[in-house]
Amino acid sequence: MTPTSLSATAARYLHQVELLLADVGEDDRVDLLTDLADQLSELPDREITQRLGSPDRFVTEYRMSAGLDPTLPIVHDGVARGPVKGPVSIGIVLSLLVLPFGVLGLFSFGAQIVFGPFLLAIEWILARISPRPLRIVWVFLGGALGGEMAYLFLDLKVRQIDGFPAVVVGITVASMVALLIERTTRLRP
């Protein structure tokens, strides 16, 4: 949301605020940005931070007054993701505890089926908290793991579907899992 009447500095300020409101409901976000755009259009560039504070400070103040969680989302390369909160932190700790078993499980089919979902969860969390280039790595690894699990399950356990059909299903599942991780770890550009 960048009205054309705004200076480059004002537009940048507005964009930063918009990113920091990524997890706020659309109605509230649009209302605030419309009001703020009005205000910015009347402020000389040099007075913007003097009057409103930094974008971080502005949004923190807004969130506290609005009765929202004051924790700001993480902004990386113009992309905002929700803050790492309690349940995610617990998930990270649990996942790290299970990780060694999951890695060992890669050498055994049964263990892989058991621990595969945990590894997938770890990769999702890592994709969620990583900057953009690294996130893509976790997306691909997550997809590969999902596809491999599907392939092994069909090829080894369901004897009627093995060989080439299992490979096709594996690749399809891999693509779907990768797409799912990519979509759910990207909040808004």
In the complex, the smallest distance separating the C-beta of residue 75 from another protein, rounded to whole angstroms, is 18
Task: Give the interface segment with another protein, choosing from 60-68, 85-93, 157-165, 174-182 (CB under 8 A).
Answer: 60-68
Longest dimension (CA), the chain: 72
Q: Which is nearer to another protein, 42 or 77 (CB)?
A: 42
Q: Which residues are CB-contacts of 148 (< 8 A; sequence separation ≥ 6)?
A: 112, 170, 174
Kindly identify the residues of this chain, within the stretch 7-26, that bind another protein according to CB under 8 A: none
Q: Give the CA distances from residue 35 to residues 38, 69, 120, in Å, rounded to whole numbers and listed in that order.
A: 5, 21, 42
**Binding-site member from 31, 71, 97, 136 for another protein (CB under 8 A):** 31
Contact yes or no for 35/62 (Cβ under 8 A): no
In the complex, the smallest distance separating the C-beta of residue 7 from another protein, rounded to whole angstroms, is 16
Binding residues with another protein: total (CB under 8 A): 24
Q: Closer CB to another protein, residue 60 or residue 130?
A: 60
Backbone angles phi, psi at 71, to 5 degrees: -65, 125
Tell which one of 66, 103, 137, 158 touches another protein (CB under 8 A). 66
- Shortest Cβ distance from residue 35 to another protein (Å)? 3
- 107 CB-near residues (< 8 Å, 6+ apart): none
Least CB distance to another protein at residue 63 (A): 7
As a whole number of angstroms, the distance between CA 161 and CA 155 comes to 6
Query: Hey, what are 75's tokens?
Result: 């902004």
- Asked whether 162 and 154 are in contact (CB, 8 A), the reply is yes
Q: Is 28 in the site for another protein (CB under 8 A)?
A: yes
Q: Does 52 bind another protein (CB under 8 A)?
A: yes
53 interacts with another protein by CB under 8 A: yes
Q: What is the contact surface with another protein in residues (CB under 8 A)?
A: 3, 28, 31-32, 34-39, 51-53, 57-59, 61-68
